[in-house]
């Protein structure tokens, strides 16, 4: 019956690309109970083989995965192919890290109160199950960033991908089973919160909830989860800051790429461009030139640079925010009005920094220019004026400026001469303020947060 199924639709042409089960709380309970009852006993070598085999299968099938991502998310073929190749890194890095034991050793004869002993640390998987909840904007990579570190550390998971883009996650689970993962270590439940309620957050066998998505849902999880570990990777409102000494052509290139890649649907996309007044006219001209080269349209066309946003409702919201900014004095320098889920790259200049368009997270390919005074203290104040604190990109060569930005921007990442989102899949990644609780993603940090550290000691007469 239809209430037991959810349709997955292609945002570009609204065709049905799949049907998924609509899980109810009892299905979630069953998945957690099954996972909790299983005690993983994979050796480091066995985990390393499963993870590396997964990486290799994903590499071999990257076109199949790209097709799925484009069909359910509306992302252009170039972006989907890039995501499929990034996933290889996540799984391969996790495989390589699995064979490294990061246990520590402490000598106890280091003070007058000391003894002839040594203390050792070792990491163990969680006693309970990891509950992983993932968003639509990276249907493969976000899921990989939860699963790979969990498997690397011998944990069991229940995964709930968003109902908007669940097909990629289901295909990934199949690859994992094929690579040799014991099926009890991973269950995927699909559906939407209206049928599942808070089951993924409140299950008694969930020791840790890892969530990537909106601030609203993240705060709901924080309020509801109770006594368990929570790792929240929430929204961003990332600035690209352009100072008066910057190479403007290079800065404009970063601005346009950073604002439009993945249809602007990255928590680390360029959501605000803060450019100092003295170079703003010249900079805006270059931004428009570069934005005009982007082709927006059919996501399956390999020539398309920008596909759709996730749905027509989101595109309409972004259009309303642009219109609101214009009503408050901003000027649209390039772009078209939203058509269904297509939101064309839109350059908006002279935006007051308090406008909803740039004060809230606008999750689409808007290229918003905010003119700021030629005063670094003001630039930093305006940059820090939103609730978010994820990443930032900086265009300057002045060492005094660089030091202040690194010290004073309230963000998790400061990238010099690069888009805010730049990272490797292994480096620590995450935000502060409303962007997250300060726990980091990136394979190394995730493996740490998914384990318990146990210390043990013994007599040691050296």
* E strand segments, 82-235: 105-107, 117-125, 129-134, 157-161, 186-188, 206-212, 229-233
Contact predicate 164/363, CB 8 Å? no
Cross-strand bridge partners of residue 370: 274
pLDDT (0 to 100) of residue 3: 75
pLDDT of residue 163: 97
At 200 the three-state DSSP class reads helix
- CA–CA dist 440, 445 (Å, integer): 6
pLDDT digits (tens, 9 = 90+) for 172-182: 999 999 999 99
Reported as a single tens digit per residue, the pLDDT across 12-51 is 999 999 999 999 999 999 999 999 999 999 999 999 999 9
Q: What is the pLDDT of residues 294-322, one digit of tens each?
A: 999 999 999 999 999 999 999 999 999 99
**Mean pLDDT of the region 262-290:** 98
Q: What does the pLDDT average to over 266-288?
A: 98
Q: pLDDT of 10-19, one tens digit each? A: 999 999 999 9
User: What positions carry a catalytic annotation?
Assistant: 233
CB 273 within 8 A of CB 255: yes
Backbone angles phi, psi at 349, to 5 degrees: -115, 165
For residue 327, the model assigns a pLDDT of: 98
206 DSSP β-pair partners: 129
**Which residue, 100, 101, 98, 87, is CA-closest to 152?**
98
Q: How far apart are CA 327 and CA 252, in angstroms?
A: 25
Over residues 435-461, mean pLDDT: 96
Query: What is d(CA 71, CA 15) in angstroms, rounded to the nearest whole number?
Result: 9
Which secondary structure element, helix H or strand E, spans residue 272, and what is its range? strand 270-276
Q: Give the whole-angstrom CA distance, residue 21 versus residue 233.
A: 26
Say what the pLDDT of residue 13 is. Answer: 97
For 106, the 3-state DSSP assignment is strand
* C-alpha neighbours within 13 Å on the C-beta side of residue 349: 15
C-beta neighbour count of 110 within 10 angstroms: 8
Strands, E, within 318-444: which ranges? 331-334, 346-349, 366-372, 388-389, 393-395, 415-416, 432-433
pLDDT tens digits, one per residue of 78-117: 999 999 999 999 999 999 999 999 999 999 999 999 999 9
> What is the reported pLDDT for 249?
98
Q: Is 91 helix (H, G, I), strand (E, B) or coil?
A: helix
| Residue 2, CA distances (Å) to 6, 22, 63 in order | 7, 9, 31
The answer to whether the CB of 459 falls within 8 A of the CB of 114 is no
Of all residues in the chain, what percent carry a pLDDT higher than 70?
A: 100
In DSSP notation, 40-73 reads: ----HHHHHHHHHHHHHHHHHTHHHHHHHHHHHH
Q: Are the CB atoms for 272 and 239 separated by under 8 Å?
A: yes
Question: Whole-model pTM?
Answer: 0.97
Residue 337 burial (C-beta neighbours within 10 Å; 0-12, 13-18, 19+): middle
Is 353 a residue whose pLDDT tops 70?
Answer: yes
Burial class (CB in 10 A: 0-12, 13-18, 19+), 41: exposed
**Which element (helix H / strand E) includes 224?**
helix 215-224
Residues in the chain: 462
pLDDT band at 54 (very low <50, low <70, confident <90, very high): very high
Task: Tell me: pLDDT of 2 over 80.
Answer: no
Distance CA 220, CA 270 (A): 26
Q: What is the pLDDT of residue 266?
A: 97
Vertex 267 angle, CA 261 and 271, to 5°: 70
Position 319 scores a pLDDT of 98
Reported as a pLDDT band with limits 50, 70 and 90, residue 403 is very high
Question: Which residues share a beta bridge with 122?
Answer: 454
Question: Which one, of 380, 457, 391, 389, lies nearest residue 420 by Cα?
Answer: 391
Within 13 A of 328's CA, how many CA atoms are on the CB side?
18
The CA-atom distances, in angstroms, between 170 and each of 65, 162, 188 are: 11, 11, 7
């Amino acid at each position: 019956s239809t209430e037991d199924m959810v349709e997955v639709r292609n945002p570009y042409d609204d065709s049905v690309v799949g049907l998924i089960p609509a899980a109810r709380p009892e299905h979630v309970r069953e998945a957690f109970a099954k996972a909790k009852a299983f005690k993983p006993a994979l050796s480091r070598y066995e985990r390393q083989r499963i993870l590396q085999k997964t990486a290799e299968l994903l590499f071999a099938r990257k076109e199949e995965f790209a097709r799925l991502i484009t069909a359910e998310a509306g992302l252009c073929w170039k972006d989907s192919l890039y995501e499929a190749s990034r996933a290889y890194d996540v799984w391969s890095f996790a495989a390589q890290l699995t064979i490294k034991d990061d246990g520590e050793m402490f000598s106890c004869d280091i003070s007058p109160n000391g003894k002839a002993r040594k203390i050792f640390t070792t990491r163990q998987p969680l006693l309970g199950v990891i509950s992983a909840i993932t968003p639509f904007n990276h249907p493969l990579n976000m899921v990989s960033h939860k699963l790979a570190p969990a498997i690397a550390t011998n944990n069991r998971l229940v995964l709930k991908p968003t109902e908007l883009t669940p097909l990629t996650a289901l295909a990934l689970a199949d690859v994992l089973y094929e690579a040799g993962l014991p099926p009890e270590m991973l269950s995927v439940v699909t559906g939407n919160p209206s049928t599942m309620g808070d089951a993924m957050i409140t299950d008694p066998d969930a020791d840790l909830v890892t969530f990537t998505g909106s601030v609203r849902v993240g705060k709901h999880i924080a309020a509801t989860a109770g006594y368990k570990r929570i790792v929240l990777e929430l929204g961003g409102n990332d600035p690209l800051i352009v100072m008066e000494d910057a190479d403007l052509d290079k800065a404009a290139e970063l601005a346009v790429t950073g604002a439009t890649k993945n249809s602007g649907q990255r928590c680390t996309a360029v959501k605000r461009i803060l450019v100092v007044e003295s170079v703003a006219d010249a900079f805006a001209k270059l931004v428009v030139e570069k934005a005009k080269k982007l082709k927006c349209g059919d996501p399956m066309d390999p020539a398309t640079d920008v596909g759709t946003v996730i749905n027509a409702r989101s595109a309409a919201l972004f259009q309303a925010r642009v219109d609101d900014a214009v009503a408050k004095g901003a000027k649209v320098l390039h772009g078209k009005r939203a058509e269904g889920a297509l939101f064309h790259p839109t350059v908006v200049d002279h935006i007051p920094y308090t406008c909803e368009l740039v004060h809230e997270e606008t999750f689409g390919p808007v290229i918003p220019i905010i003119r700021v005074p030629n005063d670094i203290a003001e630039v930093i104040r305006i940059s820090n004026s939103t609730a978010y604190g994820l990443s930032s990109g900086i265009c300057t060569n002045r060492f005094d400026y660089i030091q202040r930005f690194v010290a004073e921007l309230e963000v998790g990442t400061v990238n010099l001469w690069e888009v805010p989102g730049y990272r490797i899949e292994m480096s620590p990644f995450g935000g502060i303020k409303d962007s997250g609780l300060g726990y980091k993603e990136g394979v190394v940090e995730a493996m740490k947060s998914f384990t318990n550290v146990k210390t043990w000691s013994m007599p040691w007469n050296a």
